Amino acid sequence: MLALHGTGIGSIAIGKALVLDSVTTEVTTHTLEESALENECKRFAKAVQRAKNGLIDLKDNLPKSSPPELSALLEAHILMLKDPLLTVETLRLIKSARINAEAALQQQAEKLFAVFDRMEDEYLRTKKQDIRQVVDRIHAELIDETKLSRVSDENLKDRILVVNDLTPADAVRFRHKKMAGFVTNLGGPISHTAILARGMRLPAVLGLHGACRMIRDNDLVVVDGNSGSILINPDKDILSQFQSKIILQQKRNRGLHSLRDLSCTTDDGVPIELNANIELPEDVDAAIAVSAKGVGLYRTEFMFMNREAPGEEEQYQAYSRVIKAIDGPVTIRTLDLGADKQVDGGRIDTSTSNPALGLRAIRLCLANPSLFIPQLKAIYRASVHGNVRIMIPMLCSISELEQVMVIIREVKNSLEQACIPFNPDIPIGGMIEVPAAAIAADVFARRLSFLSLGTNDLIQYTLAIDRVDDEVTYLYDPLHPAVLRLIRNTIEAGEQNKIPVSMCGEMAGDPIYTRLLLGLGLKEFSMDPTSLLSVKQVILSSNVTQLSEYARTALDQLDMVKLNDLLTSPELLH
Ligand code: PEP
Ligand code: MG
């Protein structure tokens, strides 16, 4: 038996492994039957077409501020994808050598690289790098297709999926598949993959370096999301211990379910609002199942992944569906694309840029009004169906907020002129997820109708730890005094300006922090529906007056070990 440790999510699952190492770039050569050659050629041609479409799309949507060379470079790559030396010759090789497309592409690419290596002109020699990038693009398309064709619903049923990495786009794709759990080589606790894994309500362990190497197809794997460990081929006794734990867990979940219809008030009578985080319209069922008051965070960007961007009408339909299904407020966050959330599901290239600090969220929307305006129009149109709030992600400066307000005014004017009904008074709120916004929370609180603490990003930016880099996961610490002070500052800004402050980062859904957050004055929590009843259980037995005293001590406690002790102190646990 072998045990590995990483970041755990959810509970326990047991199943046979399905190992997909398709993200590795190693190419293996397969000899093909004569009858398979035509299909293989088609597969290659489609991959080239998809790579071309991807580049054309990228070029057409370059932000205005992009340097002109970028457009020229993309154009050059598009032309290379049309070059017969790359396409026709690879197709010829598939047929003549009767090999798979990946291998033929690699062989043809090596020939081209050799030609460039022999060139005298240094400038021309550097062009080899461009060819390599274009070849990589085709290769990625081929791999993705192989991966997808292997992962049929039937293949996945009751299996433990083992992958190197799962992008948010992959996670969306796997959401409604019937696998038992999954493990990855990469990924930290607040990566978007982890957040989606929670939403998939599946046990998972992320960031297990070497999982793809050490687990083989059909190995029996225990995924323990509680402890963040996996066991490969455990002996009978250990297996039955875990089977008993699963039964116990199911019993506990049934117990939690009995809290569903109780009103959410602390032991000393303070009402607390519990909302759900959702990613796709179909998630409303999970929110309703736990009696969430409303939706505190609707991550609309997930509707844009693995497909063509939805237009205004399709967005209107999706938002309307959620608004009609939920009685309470539905907080629609405007697109938070960029960084690790890429529409095409591509893995981000961190070697050339710093995407988390780049053009993402509201910055991306302001730079692309053609993306932002249809979304706002769709939200305003859907607002006639119920109780809607708009939330702006990653606000950093007041000027961004002012620009948003100008665009919103224009959207409202155009709807008015077209005689389309909408609610003109939708509350506009902002996410506090960069330290600048948390420090200046009062400035934002004066101009907005509500604030919501995005602790995933707030922690990332405050502690300078990339949320997708599991090498620095060990530094992720919601209890860092700087983080706690920023949270407190934001809550106080809300109190002083009489606007509600919610928290919708992962910290809000972890019952270990519930008492501390109550003590800091938080009255609205939003989380994945799977966590809601565990957090409610803590709230029902908490005394806010007593906890505010405790929170004051926590804020002054700079010794992390003591702070952790304080957090788990028995006096606070009823
Ligand atoms: C956050 O940053 O805490 C948050 C809720 O937004 P996301 O996780 O989608 O970035
Ligand atoms: Mg965020």
Q: Any idea which of 161-170, 261-270, 396-405, 486-495 has the lowest mean pLDDT?
A: 161-170
Backbone angles phi, psi at 347, to 5 degrees: -75, 140
Residue type, 549: E
Longest pairwise C-alpha distance within the chain: 81
DSSP 186: S
d(CA 497, CA 447): 9
d(CA 191, CA 283): 19
d(CA 316, CA 279): 15
Taking the centre of ligand 1 as the mean of its atom positions, its distance from the CA of residue 79, in whole angstroms, is 39
Q: Which of 298, 299, 490, 525 to mutate to test the pocket of ligand 1 (most atoms within 8 A of CB)?
A: 299
> What residues are neighbours of ligand 2 (ion), with CB under 5 Å?
433, 454, 457
Which of 375, 409, 378 has the alpha carbon at shortest distance from 392? Answer: 375
| Cβ–ligand 1 contact at 505 (below 6 Å) | yes
Question: Given the CA of residue 453, which atom of ligand 1 is nearest to it?
Answer: 3
Residue linked to tokens 């500052």: 489
Which of 344, 349, 318 has the alpha carbon at shortest distance from 332? Answer: 318
**Predicted confidence band at 190 (pLDDT cuts at 50, 70, 90)?**
confident
**Predicted confidence band at 263 (pLDDT cuts at 50, 70, 90)?**
very high
| Cβ–ligand 1 contact at 460 (below 6 Å) | no
**Predicted confidence band at 22 (pLDDT cuts at 50, 70, 90)?**
very low
Q: How far is CA 162 from CA 167, 180, 255, in A?
A: 13, 11, 32
Which is more confident, 245 or 71? 245
Residue linked to tokens 């960069």: 434
Among protein residues, the one with the nearest Cα to ligand 1's atom 9 is 299
Q: What is the pLDDT of residue 145?
A: 60
Q: What is the pLDDT of residue 487?
A: 97
Strand partners of residue 277: 297
Taking the centre of ligand 1 as the mean of its atom positions, its distance from the CA of residue 456, in whole angstroms, is 5
Q: For residues 171 and 346, is the Cβ–Cβ distance under 8 A?
A: no
Which of 228, 230, 232 has the alpha carbon at shortest distance from 7? Answer: 228
Question: Given the CA of residue 433, which atom of ligand 1 is nearest to it?
Answer: 2
pLDDT at 196 over 70: yes
Concerning whether 192 is annotated as a catalytic residue, the answer is yes
| Cβ–ligand 1 contact at 519 (below 6 Å) | no
Percent of the chain beyond pLDDT 90? Answer: 56
In sequence order, the 6+-apart residues with CB closer than 8 A to the CB of 158 are: 15, 16, 178, 179, 180
Taking the centre of ligand 1 as the mean of its atom positions, its distance from the CA of residue 454, in whole angstroms, is 5
- For the segment 415-459, what is each residue's pLDDT rounded down to a tens digit? 999 999 999 999 999 999 999 999 999 999 999 999 999 999 999
Q: What is the pLDDT of residue 144?
A: 64
In sequence order, the 6+-apart residues with CB closer than 8 A to the CB of 111 are: 89
Q: What domains appear along the chain, each with residue ranges and CATH number? A: 22-146 (1.10.274.10), 153-255 (3.50.30.10), 267-573 (3.20.20.60)
Taking the centre of ligand 1 as the mean of its atom positions, its distance from the CA of residue 551, in whole angstroms, is 24
What's the average model confidence in pLDDT over 397-418?
97
Question: Given the CA of residue 457, which atom of ligand 1 is nearest to it?
Answer: 2
Among protein residues, the one with the nearest Cα to ligand 1's atom 6 is 454
pLDDT at 307 over 60: yes
What's the average model confidence in pLDDT over 165-169?
74
| Cβ–ligand 1 contact at 457 (below 6 Å) | yes
**Using CB atoms within 10 A of its CB, is residue 53 exposed (0-12), middle (13-18) or buried (19+)?**
middle
What's the average model confidence in pLDDT over 556-563?
72
d(CA 123, CA 111): 19
Phi-psi sector, 345: left (phi>0), alpha (psi -120 to 50), beta: left
**Using CB atoms within 10 A of its CB, is residue 254 exposed (0-12), middle (13-18) or buried (19+)?**
exposed
Concerning whether 209 is annotated as a catalytic residue, the answer is no
In sequence order, the 6+-apart residues with CB closer than 8 A to the CB of 406 are: none
d(CA 405, CA 499): 18
| Cβ–ligand 1 contact at 456 (below 6 Å) | yes
Q: Which of 191, 195, 501 to mutate to test the pocket of ligand 1 (most atoms within 8 A of CB)?
A: 195
Write down the catalytic residue from 192, 212, 264, 396.
192
Q: For residues 519 and 244, is the Cβ–Cβ distance under 8 A?
A: no
**Predicted confidence band at 26 (pLDDT cuts at 50, 70, 90)?**
low
Q: What is the pLDDT of residue 568?
A: 67
Q: Which of 304, 457, 526 to mutate to test the pocket of ligand 1 (most atoms within 8 A of CB)?
A: 457
Q: What is the pLDDT of residue 2?
A: 76
| Cβ–ligand 1 contact at 504 (below 6 Å) | yes
- For the segment 488-534, what is each residue's pLDDT rounded down to a tens digit? 999 999 999 999 999 999 999 999 999 999 999 999 999 999 999 99
Q: Is 371 helix (H, G, I), strand (E, B) or coil?
A: helix
What's the average model confidence in pLDDT over 71-77?
83
Strand partners of residue 210: none
Write down the catalytic residue from 264, 365, 396, 504.
504
Q: Any idea which of 21-35, 45-59, 232-246, 358-372 has the lowest mean pLDDT?
A: 21-35
- What's the CA angle centered on 202, arms 196 and 203, to 5 degrees? 110
Note the residue count of the chain.
574
**Predicted confidence band at 574 (pLDDT cuts at 50, 70, 90)?**
very low
Q: Which ligand is nearest to the CA of 453?
A: 1
Question: Given the CA of residue 190, which atom of ligand 1 is nearest to it?
Answer: 8
Which of 398, 389, 326, 393 has the alpha carbon at shortest distance from 365? Answer: 393
| Cβ–ligand 1 contact at 455 (below 6 Å) | yes
- Quickly count helices (H) and strands (E) in the chain: 24, 16
Q: What is the pLDDT of residue 350?
A: 45
Q: Which ligand is nearest to the CA of 333?
A: 1
pTM: 0.76
**Predicted confidence band at 201 (pLDDT cuts at 50, 70, 90)?**
confident
Q: For residues 343 and 337, is the Cβ–Cβ distance under 8 A?
A: yes
Taking the centre of ligand 1 as the mean of its atom positions, its distance from the CA of residue 190, in whole angstroms, is 8
What tokens appear for 558 in the block? 């700079």
| Cβ–ligand 1 contact at 279 (below 6 Å) | no
Taking the centre of ligand 1 as the mean of its atom positions, its distance from the CA of residue 457, in whole angstroms, is 6
Q: Which 3-state string (H, E, C) describes 203-264?
A: CEEECCCCHHHHCCCCCEEEEECCCCEEEECCCHHHHHHHHHHHHHHHHHHHHHHCCCCCCC
Q: What is the pLDDT of residue 151?
A: 66
**Predicted confidence band at 24 (pLDDT cuts at 50, 70, 90)?**
very low
Q: Which of 192, 278, 297, 456 to mutate to test the pocket of ligand 1 (most atoms within 8 A of CB)?
A: 456
Among protein residues, the one with the nearest Cα to ligand 1's atom 10 is 457
pLDDT at 138 over 80: yes
Q: Label residues 198-237 b or e (16+ Cβ within 10 Å = b).
A: bbbebbbbbbbeebbebbeeeeebbbbbeebbbbbebeee
**Predicted confidence band at 571 (pLDDT cuts at 50, 70, 90)?**
low
Taking the centre of ligand 2 as the mean of its atom positions, its distance from the CA of residue 88, in whole angstroms, is 45
Taking the centre of ligand 2 as the mean of its atom positions, its distance from the CA of residue 487, in whole angstroms, is 15
- 1-5, 49-53, 186-190, 311-315: which is most confident: 311-315
Which is more confident, 74 or 274? 274
Which of 325, 350, 346, 303 has the alpha carbon at shortest distance from 468? Answer: 350
What's the average model confidence in pLDDT over 181-192?
83
Q: Any idea which of 55-69, 209-223, 279-293, 327-341 has the lowest mean pLDDT?
A: 55-69
Q: For residues 322 and 278, is the Cβ–Cβ distance under 8 A?
A: yes
Q: What is the pLDDT of residue 572?
A: 54
Q: Name the CA dihedral angle for 93, 96, 101, 107, rounded to a multiple of 10 degrees.
A: -40
Q: What is the pLDDT of residue 569?
A: 66
| Cβ–ligand 1 contact at 454 (below 6 Å) | yes
What's the average model confidence in pLDDT over 116-137?
79
Q: What is the pLDDT of residue 486?
A: 97
Q: Any idea which of 80-84, 122-126, 288-292, 325-329 has the lowest mean pLDDT?
A: 122-126
Among protein residues, the one with the nearest Cα to ligand 1's atom 1 is 454
Strand order in the sheet with 7-9: 2-5, 229-232, 220-224, 12-20, 159-163, 181-184, 204-206, 7-9
Taking the centre of ligand 2 as the mean of its atom positions, its distance from the CA of residue 446, in whole angstroms, is 22
pLDDT at 246 over 60: yes
- What's the CA angle centered on 256, arms 201 and 266, to 5 degrees? 115
Average pLDDT, the chain: 88
d(CA 147, CA 174): 12
